[in-house]
Structure 1
Amino acid sequence: MNRWHLLALVALGSVGMEVSAAEETRTPFGVGSCHVNGRSVEDYQRWVPQMVELGLKDQRSLMSGWGELERTPGEWHWENMDAQWSYLHERGIETGTLLLGNPAWNQKDPPGHLPVNFIDGWSEYVRQVVRHFRGRIRRYEVWNEPPNFTGPQQTAADYARLVVAAYDAAKAVDPDAQIGLTTKSAHLVYLRQAIEAGAADHFDWISLHPYEVLDGIVADIGMEPIYANLVPSVRRMLAEVNPGRKDVPVVFTELGVDAGRHGEAKQADALVKAYVIGMAQGLENLQWFEGRDGDSGPMGLLDGQGRPRAAYHAYGRLIQALGLHPQPRGWAVLGASTYGWLFECDGKDVVVAWCPRGGREELSFSGEVEFVHARDGREGRASSLVVGTSPVFLSQVPSKDLGRVTAVTEALPPWPGDPGTYHDAQEVKIDYALDPPERGLHSRGGAEVAEAIVNYGGSARAGDAPGGNLLMVDPSFLGDESVPLKITAEVRRKDPAVNAGFKLVYEGPDGFKTAGSWRTIPEEDRWHVIEWSIQDPRFVSFWGYHFRLESDGAEYGQYLLRRLTVSKEASP
């Protein structure tokens, strides 16, 4: 048995011990499963024992759908759900559960729709579940990823009706029940709409599934600041629309990485980064999706045969390095560009370090530090260490080598490779005549699609370069607040005889929307300026970017972009 494995088991305690949410502070380390890995105790037996070995104490949900529990009106079947709860409880794992579903016998709402036309039935379902599990389950998440899995015409107001009914029904039978408000991805606009439509003061915590933002970290394009801004964005939104709930816990009840698409090494690196930055911004818990491969592809800590992936071992080393209850202190920049995230862990300081955006740097310390590589477990002591994109755990780092440590609530870490700061800026831009070209405005494709094309005596990027038309502003420049913007593009056709153009699509108050109409680039063989005025941006990155220049077909992307500017305008 290796060292991290043994320490994780010691941290977990004796198998079968009773764990009460009221008696123990919740740890940030959790896990969840897809449908086929969470239907029964038999499903759990194929992957939960390995999660126990890691020291995990937190599982997302039991099989609790309305249709499974009330198969015919008035007849309740608890055997499977009770068996699942007992299996997890005996292993020291606390679980929440989902409130969702629409039974086939409900004639008022089609299957797959929110049961808004049968609120009495929905309320009774919630009462039955919460009453049955009073004292055993406290966390209830209302639905999964709305507006996903809802009717095509159903709105955030419909979801709000379900939330209010669930909250009132749950609290009536168990005042300690905690109701979670949720949405797909990081769709804060949808949460805002639900709260404004009536869900205000009817929830106790918030759930997000920001896969798309994490994907930008996996791809090493520098999206750590946007990921670090997710919980602060939730806090700002709540302070505006529901101040009494602005400090509720935030949980990522799903977050993961496709090991088939990105590879096992990057999955392992991303897991550590997701937890480290998540804890640093105040995330209460993150339930990694998922424990074992199931019906959602190669997402598991274990593959389809139950073999541990590199991410499984990295998860264990993370818990060994930080303990079950790490206290985040903030971030620092080590050397020239390496991120260092400081935690106090059982009386000692631990720094988790990596070089973002594909970087690599040799760090020198004034004394020897202990290091452990998260991905492969290599460890030792050294006074200098080369750090790349894979995280390294460092201990005994001299404070003078660490420098200034800044809490995420005070300021976000700098965008890697960007020489500026933009808290007080009125303008951000990409200018291919500069080095580096990205100054507070960044392309989703990063360096791979931002390769300069020297043309007409200057530098530009081709409009048909894949991924380069997805843009993000630095979150220190503009978060989810609605500030009037002017966006300016300097473009020209590659061939004056070939038609080219695009439309601007941006995150607004109701999701993505088109600004004005299609813009055709004039055929004159020179640079042209195209401008848009946007009065209602809501840049929350729920798809992992803020706006895009969209050409309807590759043939219309035959243009060059020399400069793109986003500037703040005075409110009309």
Structure 2
Amino acid sequence: MTRRIGWLAAKALSVLLVAASMAAAQPSAHDRPFSPFGIGSCYINNRSLKDMQRWMPQMEAIGITTHRTPHCDWGALERAPGEWDWTELDAQMDYLDEFGFRYGCLLIGNPGWNEADPRGHLPVNNLDGWSNYVTQLAQHVRGRTNWLEVWNEPPNFTGKDQTPEDYAKIVVAAYDAAKAVDPDFKIGLAAKSVHVNYLEQVIRAGAKDHFDYVVLHPYEVLDGVADDTGCEAVFMNIVPVVRKMLAHVNPAKQDVPVIFTELGASADAGADRQAHALVKAYTMSIAQGVECLEWFEGRDGDSGPMGLIDREGNPRPAYHALATMIKHLGQYPQYIGWTRPNDQALAFAFQGASEPVLVAWSPDGGSSEIGFSQDVRLVDPTTGEATSTRQLQLGVAPMLVLAPPAAMLEDARANAARPLDWGGDYSDAQEVSITFGDQIIERGLHTRAGADVAKAVVAYGGSARAGDVPGGNAFIVDPGFLCYDSVPIEITIEVRRNEANDNSGFKLVYESQDGFKTAGTWYTVPDNQEWHTARFRIDDPQFVNYWGYNFLLQSDGNEYNKYLIRKATVRKLAE
């Protein structure tokens, strides 16, 4: 009997040792790479463990494994000088760890006891205090996360009088403090929207070599996609333009990860539109190499109906769409390439969880039909329902095509390293243009209104476009023609007044190295008797689409925008 008990004890110990060995072999959430399928939250859904418990279980249920940040605000942790309270942060991290989530920390805040800088919110007047905050936080979260994002959307939430140099000081102080705790900490350099110009200014102002990843929030560019204006090529150029800028000003950091710690679409314009935007955003983010997209947000909070679920916890179509994507693409989809079936539809190919998957839709608000050489399974992301067919009628709603024909995958693979075209290759062109009429002719120049809207607003017998159409006065050049590089250009606009001969005019505002600037002076349209050409020479353009367009014809209110546009041209000049 004694021998039997001893054998059982030895057997039990052996089982425990094997189990422990297996557990040790499994990577912790901290050691796993980020899945691209992440989630984020507004302030009121992320202040405490109680806030998280209202919505995080529904995120975990569909396979989300990455969360932007628990609540790490400086003032919430150091309520008085030297008095640190980690209770709520620990509770949140314990909860995230229990669910197996990866997460970073957002370094932000200026506690009430710190004398504020009258110029803004960045605590540049107390860099010692800021550095100590980063040190204390890094010591506390070490081993649980090592990703530290510095501030939210600068120059938003900084101060109108605080400069890129001020933000650079905050970044450098955070970098030095965190690396002193552990060199493995990674510091995120951030900017609002796709404000690559601002990132460059910050790097030049002192942040060079003091960051390990780049953070962007490209809401406005996604809006162009969600509104079906054909801006997919602009969205697909976000990471390339960041890489181009880094290669120019900080080559050692050219290949750092890019993370979208916020990106979303409101359900106000339609729950289906939000779901379509989500599928397209994740698809194109993964395709261009974004490390993680943390959708904003999980549950409706203080920013309106942005959530995958509403305030009562009811799932929206976007929630189901994300669940379907994770199911079929897996946590770590491998990008194969893009293809344009029938030269109309747009499809991105991935090696998914168990088989190749195409994510396809029809851009520009149009429709197209795809024929397959074999039966394929189609999956509607918002319902998860699958059907078998050889014909697919595509509209703006994206569809998943499981196990597509090999020829389609090969075509996608051939395009993997090529920029997504937008009606042609304009990389060697000297000029691009858009002409309005019965047919809208886009030769490398586009508007935020989209081709379908343009067709609906032509005037003067189909020979022009009204200048007061929403989005019709915001122009985008093909990224292959001009992106980031600052070369002299001339922009010409052929205009006339409307039929009523109303007094009208505009100024041309464009993206430059210093942000948006006005070119020349105000242009008054002379009359409606003939077409007139307004000319603007620009010597310092830097087109990066940080608000989703490159230049704008801006009138004062709606009083002076009663003009018509026949043609717009952007021409490169000899330097």
The TM tier, using the shorter chain, reads over 0.9
Give the conservation status (yes or no) of the 8 Å contact 1:19–1:94.
Answer: no
Q: CA deviation at 1:387?
A: 1.6
Aligned equivalent of 2:36: 28
| CA drift at 1:101 | 0.6
Contact kept, 8 Å, 2:512 with 2:542, in 1: the verdict is yes
AA partner of residue 370 (structure 1) = R
Q: Which of 512, 518, 527 is 1:514 aligned to?
A: 518
Deviation at 1:242, TM superposition (A): 0.3
Query: Which sits farther off after the overlay, 375-384 or 529-538?
Result: 375-384
- Uncovered stretches (5+) of structure 2, i.e. residues with no partner: 1-21
- Specify which of 471, 482, 485 is matched with residue 481 of structure 1: 485
* 8 Å contact kept, 1:449–1:466: no
In structure 1, the partner of 2:313 is: 306
Report the CA distance between 1:19 and its aligned residue.
5.4
Q: What's the CA shift for 1:551?
A: 1.3
Alignment counterpart, residue 438 of structure 1, candidates 435, 442, 445: 442
Match of 1:293? Answer: 300
Residue aligned with 1:67, SS:
helix
Q: Tell me which of 197, 201, 216 is aligned to 1:193.
A: 201
Work out whether residues 279 and 322 of structure 2, in 8 Å CA contact, stay in contact via their aligned partners in 1. Answer: yes
Q: Report the Cα offset of residue 406 of structure 1.
A: 5.2
CA contact (8 A) 1:104 1:111 kept: no
Match in the other structure for 1:7: none
Residue 70 of structure 2 corresponds to residue 56 of structure 1: no
Counterpart in 1 of 2:464? Answer: 460
- Mapped pair 1:164 → 2:172: yes
Give the whole-Å Cα distance in 2 for the aligned partners of 1:408 and 1:560.
39
Scaled by the length of structure 2, the TM-score of the pair is 0.93
| Cα distance between partner residues in 1 of 2:270 and 2:344 | 25
Counterpart residue number, 1:268 = 275
Q: State how far apart, in whole Å, the 2-side matches of 1:20 and 1:232 are.
A: 32
Q: Which residue of 1 aligns with 2:47?
A: 39
Aligned to 2:155: 147
Residue in 1 aligned with 2:192? 184
Of 364, 376, 380 in structure 1, the residue corresponding to residue 371 of structure 2 is 364
CA contact (8 A) 1:462 1:561 kept: yes
CA contact (8 A) 1:452 1:459 kept: no
Q: Sort the Cα spacing of 1:407 and 1:292 in 2 relative to 1 into closer, same or farther, 3 A.
A: farther
Contact 2:110 2:116 survives alignment (8 Å)? no
Residue 375 (structure 1) aligns with: 382
Q: Is the 8 A contact 1:142 1:181 kept in 2?
A: yes
The answer (yes or no) to whether the contact 2:267–2:306 under 8 Å persists in 1 is yes
Partner-residue secondary structure (3-state), 2:364: coil
CA drift at 1:507: 0.7
- Whole-Å Cα distance in 2 between the matches of residues 376 and 383 of structure 1? 20
Alpha-carbon distance in structure 1 between the residues aligned to 2:69 and 2:180: 22
Aligned to 1:448: 453
User: CA–CA distance in 2 between the matches of 1:67 and 1:454?
Assistant: 57
**Is 1:205 equivalent to 2:229 in the alignment?**
no
Shift in Å at residue 409 of structure 1?
A: 6.8
Matched residues in 1 for 2:28 and 2:306: separation?
A: 30
Query: Which shows bigger deviation, 35-44 or 475-484?
Result: 475-484
Q: Give yes or no for contact 2:440–2:454 (8 Å, CA) kept in 1.
A: no
The corresponding residue for 1:93 is 101
In the alignment, the residues of structure 1 paired with residue 313 and residue 433 of structure 2 have an alpha-carbon distance, to the nearest angstrom, of 48
- The SS at the match of 2:285 is helix
Contact 1:19 1:92 in 2 (8 A): no
Could you tell me which residue of structure 1 aligns to residue 417 of structure 2?
A: 410
Question: Which residue of the other structure, out of 543, 550, 553, is the alignment partner of 2:547?
Answer: 543
What is the CA–CA distance in structure 2 between the aligned matches of 1:555 and 1:117, rounded to whole Å?
A: 45
Larger radius of gyration: 2
The answer on 1:353 being equivalent to 2:357 is: no
Alpha-carbon RMSD across the aligned residues, in angstroms, is 2.0
- Quick check: 1:102–1:111 contact (8 Å CA) kept in 2? no
| Cα distance, 1:35 vs structure 2 | 0.5
CA deviations 1:49-103 (Å, max 9, x no partner) are 0011011111001111111111110111101101100011011111111111111
Q: Aligned equivalents of 1:309 and 1:458: distance in 2? A: 41
Alignment of structure 1 residues 63-78 onto 2, 5 Å? 63-78=71-86
Tell me what 2:16 maps to.
Answer: none
- The residue type equivalent to 2:342 in the other structure is G
- In the alignment, residue 91 of structure 1 is paired with which amino acid? F
Please tell me whether the aligned partners of residues 462 and 559 of structure 1 are also in contact (alpha carbons under 8 angstroms): yes
8 Å CA contact 2:467, 2:561 repeated in 1: yes
Give how far 1:500 is off.
Answer: 1.5
Q: List gaps (5 residues or longer) in structure 1.
A: 1-13
Asked if the contact 1:102–1:112 (Cα under 8 Å) also holds between the matched residues in 2, the reply is no
Q: 1:500: which partner in 2?
A: 504
Mapped partners of 1:450, 1:569: distance in 2: 31
**Contact 1:239–1:246, Cα closer than 8 Å, also in 2:** yes
Does residue 280 (structure 1) correspond to residue 287 (structure 2)? The answer is yes
Q: Post-superposition shift, 1:503?
A: 0.6
Equivalent position to 1:329, from 311, 332, 336: 336
State the secondary structure of the residue aligned to 1:71: strand
SS in 2 for 1:556: coil
CA drift of 1:448 comes to 1.3
Give the Cα–Cα distance (whole angstroms) in 1 for the partners of residues 407 and 91 of structure 2.
54
Structure 2 CA distance for partners of 1:452 and 1:86, relative to 1, 3 Å: closer
Aligned residue pairs total 552
* One-letter amino acid of the counterpart of residue 213, structure 2: W
1:179-258 aligned at under 5 Å gives the runs 179-258=187-266
SS at match of 1:55: coil
Instruction: Sort the Cα spacing of 1:475 and 1:320 in 2 relative to 1 into closer, same or farther, 3 A.
Output: same
Check whether the contact 1:374–1:390 (CA below 8 A) recurs between aligned residues: no
The reply to whether residue 115 of structure 1 matches residue 87 of structure 2 is: no
Aligned-pair CA distance for 1:458: 6.5
Give the distance between the partners of 1:165 and 1:510, measured in 2 at CA: 25
Query: How far does the alpha carbon of each residue in 1:268-309 deviate from its partner, in whole angstroms, 9 at most, with x for none?
Result: 111111001000000000000011000110000110000111
The offset of 1:524, in angstroms, is: 6.7
Q: Alpha-carbon deviation of 1:114?
A: 0.4
Q: What is the one-letter code of the residue matched to 1:511?
A: G
Structure 1 residue 403 displacement after superposition: 5.4
Residue identity opposite 2:453 in structure 1: E
Is the contact between residue 153 and residue 191 of structure 2 (CA under 8 Å) also seen in structure 1?
Answer: yes
Residue type matched to 2:441 in 1? P
| 1:111, distance to aligned residue in structure 2 (A) | 9.7
In 2, the alpha carbon distance for the partners of 1:282 and 1:408 equals 15
Superposed CA offset, 1:123-182 (max 9, x none):
001000001111111110000011111122001110000000000000001111111000
Structure 1 length-normalised TM? 0.93
AA matched with 2:165: A
**Could you tell me how far apart the structure 2 residues matched to 1:531 and 1:450 are?**
25
Greater per-residue helix proportion: 2
- The CA deviation at 1:22 is 6.0
